[in-house]
Amino acid sequence: MALHQDMAHAKINLFLHVTGRREDGYHLLDSLAVFAGAGDHLHLSTGPQGQADSLTLQGPFAKGLEADENNLVLKAARALRQTRGEEAARQPAAALTLEKRLPVASGIGGGSADAACALRLLTRHWSLPMEAAAHVAPTLGADVPVCLAQKATRMEGIGDILTAAPPLPEMGMLLVNPGVGVSTPSIFRRLAETGGITPRPPLAFPEAGWPTLDALIAFLAQTENDLQPHAIAQAPVIATVLETLATLPQVRFHRMSGSGATCFALFETADQAIRAADHLMDRDIAQAWWHWAGPVLP
């Protein structure tokens, strides 16, 4: 029986500007990340006495992953134990079950969200302070810190400088992934090789936020996802996904998230997104694609 369970929500970059490159090769970013209702499910129960923390995989995308020590869920458990030393060594083994519902390597931070979710569950299970999770998160991946709170956030630095986003309007979202895995390092490498950092004036977020979807879209229209052309060059089907999204009823805005290949479309309401998903499923081309439609988290 699961003692604790939590959801690892998909992270969507509504825009993503690459603003520079550090000596170590990591890129400086400016991005507005939001979280969708879609997500993986993580369950935790106490494992047998004296045994190591363990992971079982279930769900539609489990076959694309190994439940080994490289899985970000077990990496999170290991890193948390290491950082808390003897205090963590006294804690019981965690038996974790990940229901993998989000496509892997798809630009919506699935692995990062799983790692952050594991940190939330384990700090609770082992009665550790949340600061322990915040301390470990950046060591697991650039997207892990933002996935800890799962709230709309401006990401700067390499993804480690986080500021709560001003209020966003309610909106619906459709996510579509064409089933091609895209490796984040390879897309950043392509960008670096083409010297492709677009100089831009500093971007100001309105302090009062965006009261309507129109206001948000007017803002997003001045922004881009700088990784999108590089992802399309590697996986041209992303352009087909974007063209298809543009033709769906009541779509207000569409773009690729993160390093791809998942693309999103925005709607006034979650119901409109769900109806657009029905239209999408009438198209032959979309039969092999993964999709999700519903609300953006507040």
Ligand X SMILES: Nc1ncnc2c1ncn2[C@@H]1O[C@H](COP(=O)(O)OP(=O)(O)OP(=O)(O)O)[C@@H](O)[C@H]1O
Residues of the binding site for ATP:
103-113
Nearest to 225 by CA among 248, 205, 242: 242
Segment lying near ligand CDM (by CB under 6 A), choices 170-178, 181-189, 214-222, 241-249: 181-189
Q: Which CB sits closer to ligand CDM, 192 or 251?
A: 192
Selected catalytic residue, list 6, 40, 53, 143: 143
Which of 178, 258, 260, 295 lies at the binding interface for ligand CDM (CB under 6 A)?
Answer: 258
Question: What is the closest distance, in whole angstroms, from the C-beta atom of residue 187 to ligand CDM in the complex?
Answer: 8
User: Closest residue (Cβ) to ligand X?
Assistant: 111
110 binds ligand X (CB under 6 A): yes
Question: What is the closest distance, in whole angstroms, from the C-beta atom of residue 208 to ligand X in the complex?
Answer: 29
- How many residues touch ligand CDM under the rule CB under 6 A: the total is 19
Choose from ligand CDM, ligand X, none: what does 188 bind? Cβ within 5-8 Å by kind.
ligand CDM
Distance of CA 9 to the CA centre of its chain: 7
Question: What is the closest distance, in whole angstroms, from the C-beta atom of residue 286 to ligand X in the complex?
Answer: 20
β-sheet bridge partners, residue 94: 46
- How many residues touch ligand X under the rule CB under 6 A: the total is 19
Annotation says 143 is catalytic: yes
Q: 3-class SS at 5?
A: strand
Q: What's the Cα-to-Cα distance from 67 to each of 83, 97, 117, rounded to whole Å?
A: 22, 10, 16
Helix axes of 130-140 and 72-89: crossing angle, nearest 10 degrees:
140
According to DSSP, the β-strands at 94-99 and 54-58 are: parallel
Q: 3-class SS at 111?
A: helix
Choose from ligand CDM, ligand X, none: what does 14 bind? Cβ within 5-8 Å by kind.
none
73 binds ligand X (CB under 6 A): yes
Choose from ligand CDM, ligand X, none: what does 158 bind? Cβ within 5-8 Å by kind.
ligand CDM
112 binds ligand X (CB under 6 A): yes
- What are the start-end ranges of the H helices in the chain? 72-89, 110-125, 130-140, 144-149, 184-193, 213-220, 228-234, 237-246, 270-280
The angle subtended at Cα 121 by Cα 118 and Cα 126, nearest 5°, is 115
103 binds ligand CDM (CB under 6 A): no
Question: What is the closest distance, in whole angstroms, from the C-beta atom of residue 26 to ligand CDM in the complex?
Answer: 4
β-sheet bridge partners, residue 35: 11
Check residue 63 and report its DSSP letter.
G
Selected catalytic residue, list 11, 40, 53, 100: 11
39 binds ligand CDM (CB under 6 A): no
Annotation says 63 is catalytic: no
Segment lying near ligand X (by CB under 6 A), choices 110-118, 166-174, 198-206, 226-234: 110-118
Check residue 100 and report its DSSP letter.
-
Question: What is the closest distance, in whole angstroms, from the C-beta atom of residue 22 to ligand X in the complex?
Answer: 17
Segment lying near ligand X (by CB under 6 A), choices 79-87, 105-113, 122-130, 222-230: 105-113
C-alpha count within 13 angstroms, C-beta hemisphere, residue 171? 26
Torsions phi, psi for 43 (to 5 deg): -115, 145
Spatial neighbors of 296 by CB under 8 A, at least 6 apart, are 12, 34, 35, 36, 37, 168, 170, 171, 172, 173
Nearest to 55 by CA among 86, 84, 78, 80: 78
Query: Token pair for residue 286?
Result: 């979309």
Which of 37, 103, 110, 141 lies at the binding interface for ligand CDM (CB under 6 A)?
Answer: 141
Query: Under the rule (CB under 6 A), what is the footprint of ligand X?
Result: 65, 70-73, 104-112, 114, 143, 184, 258-259
Just list the catalytic residues: 11, 143
